[in-house]
Each structure stands twice: as structure tokens, then as C-alpha cells.
Structure 1
């Protein structure tokens, strides 16, 4: 009888309908983090991370993590068509939940390739309200550099439009600022990932102008700088023209007239420091 009973249990279990809950739990155990996408995540200061950790421990992880559902072959060349789940938003929350074995929710999104994912992540970060001046400049620069070379338009067609002019109008800054942002993003890419995050946290002594100059240099490869000490300019560094100085002065005057937030004030101070380096 015991044998018949167990046989009946197995038969009944095999006929149970598919459980979405079980599928979600399986996916959460297979989440992958790509180093290639880390630069598109806004870094937190130690204080901000501590506050987030405390909130999650006290209230749970309320906001779902965003996951790209794709195949391993799409993410890792020469791999299989097996499903892959790549984390694209919620890295800090995921780390905290893993550390304390806490549950979390997920949202699955589909993209045709990793370039489209990067564009999505840049747009998502630019839509945040709490970006510091360095982060805002960096993500604007990333978008400018990517659109300038025609990569991953993320459903945007520029139709021959001047990208810097288009973005300047969208973000209400000058075209010069957008182009400087592009060099700033290139400059940050020269550092190793850990130092990139430090620069974006806004706690380093390096000026934005210096990082922009690093972005213009071809003698420094991406991801090779292991120190945040000032790098002496190359012999061929270009000296700003009178016209460029005039543009910088006008931009400072515009910022001073339109001050409306702490972020505007921080940006104004940064622009004044940059101008002093050129005089």
C-alpha cells in the first residue's frame, strides 16, 4: 500500500500546473553581473550605501531589480543559447540582499543586444534627480560619445542633426559643455573601475578640467590609470584659444544668473575653477 501511495503522490505532483513563483525564484538564483556594465551604474558614497543598507534591513527591498533576459551567446560570444539573466539596475540592493539573505523582486526586460542595454542604462541614469555634477556630466558625455559615432540610438534618429546642439537643447546647457562632457567621460574611462567610481562619487581632488584633458590624450589606454594623482599634460597639449576663454566666461555668467539649486551652485564653482586653470 505504501508503494501505491507514493506512486499516487508522484503522479499527482507531475500533473500540477506550472508555478510562476518557482520560475521567478529560479531566475533570481541565475542573475549575472557584467563588469562591462558597471560604469553605467551610479556609485554611492559610503554614507549613502549605509543608509540604503539600513533601510533595506528595516523595511525590506521594496523596489524591484531590473534584469535583462537574454541568452548566454548574446552576452558571452561562442557560448550556448541557454537563457541568461543580467542585472542592469539595482546592483547595490542586490549586494545587500545577498549579504543578508533577503528576498527581492525582479522586473524582466528584453533588448536586442548589449549596446541597446547600455543606451537604456544611460537614459535611465540621466532621468534620476539625485545625480551630482560629476555624474551628470559623465552620463551626458557617454550619451554624446555614443550617439556621435552612431552607436545604439535607442530608438532615436538624429537625421543628420548636430548631436552636441541637440543634447545641449535637451539638457539646457551649452554645446561646449556637452563636448566637454564627452571628454570627461573619455577621461574617466582611462582609470581602473574602482577609481572610476571614486571620481563619480565627487569626493576626489582631481578637477573636471584635468579629467577632460586626460580624455583627449591618445597615449593613455582605457582602464590603465591606477592612481588619482594628477597626470602631467603631454607636450602637445592644446592651449585654449581666446574664443574658448570667452565661451567659458559667458557660460559662467549664464550659470550665475540662473542659479536655482545646490547642484547649479556646485556646477558654477566647478566652472570657475576650470576657468582659473586656463588663465
Structure 2
């Protein structure tokens, strides 16, 4: 009877046009890694990566990898409407599993666009308990900069929400900390992807304040620094176009505030203060 039962199962399975299992296996072979999303993944130290590899080798890959089910056009790959499966969480596990041919599970998620994926990845990282202080600062800064970018150039829109205060209340820190986080995240973006990972993994001997100051500089493009040696910390007596511009704008604000006598002077002061904010 057992033989008849197994025979029936095999016959029924053979008649299926394609099982869910085979579909999942097909998806796993089509996973796409977007370099644009790597900055939203917490980098591991050498020891952490070795420990993860040892755990997967001994116990298998227990946690499923998160995959964005979308199209190549929405993912920004090309203009094709072909279905695409983009890895959005589990990059380190995926690399290890591919290296040793270890099976893994996936969970499919759907988002309207790439920006929603980035928001999800930032929130997911901020929900982790093992972030280093630098990593926590970086992801808070990313969220602050993105939300501020949606509201406009400045932190507070007239009649709107003060984003730094909102996030400061949420994360139980000061508004100044949130703004510093924003500059830190901007500073990280000035490095190449490889250097960003080294900084966030704690493998770079750079002061956090140095990176924050770098984030304030609008004359440095994203990914401009390909090595840490190319970033020399300026001495206190060394001048730069950025510092000179900052000093000049502060003097201008002080001059207007000192000599303010009319409503037009007040309006000009408000404008100059707003312009000064991007340097602070």
C-alpha cells in the first residue's frame, strides 16, 4: 500500500506544470545585486564575517534572504518590463551560500519603486540592535537627509514639520546630533563604495568630525575620494574656499542683524540665515 501511495504522489507531481519549489529555485538563480543598494547594508568586520561563515557552514542558512520582486525598468536596470528579483537583505549570507553551494530560503517583497526600497532598508538597519555608534549615526543621517530632501532644501518648511526634532524625539537624541548625523552620512558618500564599507566596518582611522566636515563641503562630489591618503585633515591655521565662504557669510549675517532697522532688513536677515544653514 505504501508503494501505491508513493507511486501516486510521483505521478501527481509529474503532472504539475511547475511546482512552487521549482519556481523558487529559478528565482534564486536570477537574483540581482544592485551596487546602488550596497550602502544600505551594514558592513561586517573581518571577525563578524568569519563568525557568520562558520555558523552557516555548521548550521546552514536559517534566516531567509529578502528579495524585491519588480521589473527591470522599475529597478533602473533597463527599459524592459521583464520581471526582476533584486536582493535587498542578506548580501553576506548570499555570498557565503554561493561560495559553498549552500541552500537558502527567500522571502519576496514588493515596493512601488527604488526609493521605497531604500527607505525600507534604512528602517530595517535602524531596527538592528548590534549597530556600532558610527553605523547608527550613518543610518540616522541617511534617513534625515532623505526626509529633508523630500520636504525641501531646509530642515523646516514654513508651516511644516521640523524633521530634525521629529527624528531627535524618535531616537532619543538631540537635534544637533541628528544634524551631525546628516553631515556624517554626506561625508561617507564622498568616499568610494569600498572605502565607505571600511569606514562603517570600523577599519579606517578617521575622526568622525573629519567626515562630518567633509559632508558640509559642496565642492566635493560623491565618490571623489578613492583612498584615505587623499584626504588630509586641514590644520587649524590652514584656510580653504569653504571655510572662507563660511566666515564671510557669518560676518554678513552679523552685520545685517546689528544694523537692522526695517522689515526689509529683517526679511534679508531671514534669507541670509537660510543660506548660511547649508554651511553648518
**TM score, norm. by length of structure 2:** 0.76
Q: Distance in 2 between matches of 1:134 and 1:186?
A: 13
Deviation at 1:228, TM superposition (A): 1.7
Q: Deviations over 1:7-65 (max 9, x none)?
A: xxxx9988425310010000000000000000000000011000000000000000000
**TM score, norm. by length of structure 1:** 0.76
The corresponding residue for 2:62 is 62
Cα 1:235–1:65, aligned 2, differ >3 Å: closer, same or farther? same
Q: Secondary structure at the match of 1:44?
A: coil
1:236 to 2:237 alignment = no
Q: Distance in 1 between matches of 2:228 and 2:172?
A: 31
1:211 to 2:217 alignment = no
Q: Superposition pairs for residues 85-104 of structure 1, below 5 Å? A: 85-104=85-104
Q: Distance in 2 between matches of 1:104 and 1:67?
A: 12
Q: Deviations over 1:46-89 (max 9, x none)?
A: 11000000000000000000000000111135421111000000
Q: Superposition pairs for residues 72-151 of structure 1, below 5 Å? A: 72-76=72-76, 78-150=78-150
Q: Deviations over 1:104-148 (max 9, x none)?
A: 000000000000000000000000000001100000000000000
Aligned residue pairs: how many?
223
Q: Distance in 2 between matches of 1:45 and 1:231?
A: 25
Q: Distance in 1 between matches of 2:92 and 2:78?
A: 30
Q: Secondary structure at the match of 1:150?
A: helix
RMSD: 2.0
Q: Distance in 2 between matches of 1:42 and 1:65?
A: 15
Q: Distance in 2 between matches of 1:12 and 1:51?
A: 43
Q: Distance in 2 between matches of 1:100 and 1:13?
A: 30
Cα 1:30–1:178, aligned 2, differ >3 Å: closer, same or farther? same
Q: Deviations over 1:167-209 (max 9, x none)?
A: 0000011000000000000000000000000110123211110
Q: Distance in 2 between matches of 1:13 and 1:53?
A: 36
Larger Rg: 2
Q: Distance in 1 between matches of 2:76 and 2:218?
A: 29
Q: Distance in 1 between matches of 2:26 and 2:213?
A: 47
The corresponding residue for 1:42 is 42
Contact 2:210 2:233 (C-alpha < 8 Å) held by counterparts: no
Greater shift, 215-224 or 72-81, is seen at: 72-81
Where in structure 2 are there 5+ consecutive unaligned residues?
Answer: 1-10, 152-158, 235-239, 251-280
Q: Distance in 2 between matches of 1:165 and 1:231?
A: 33
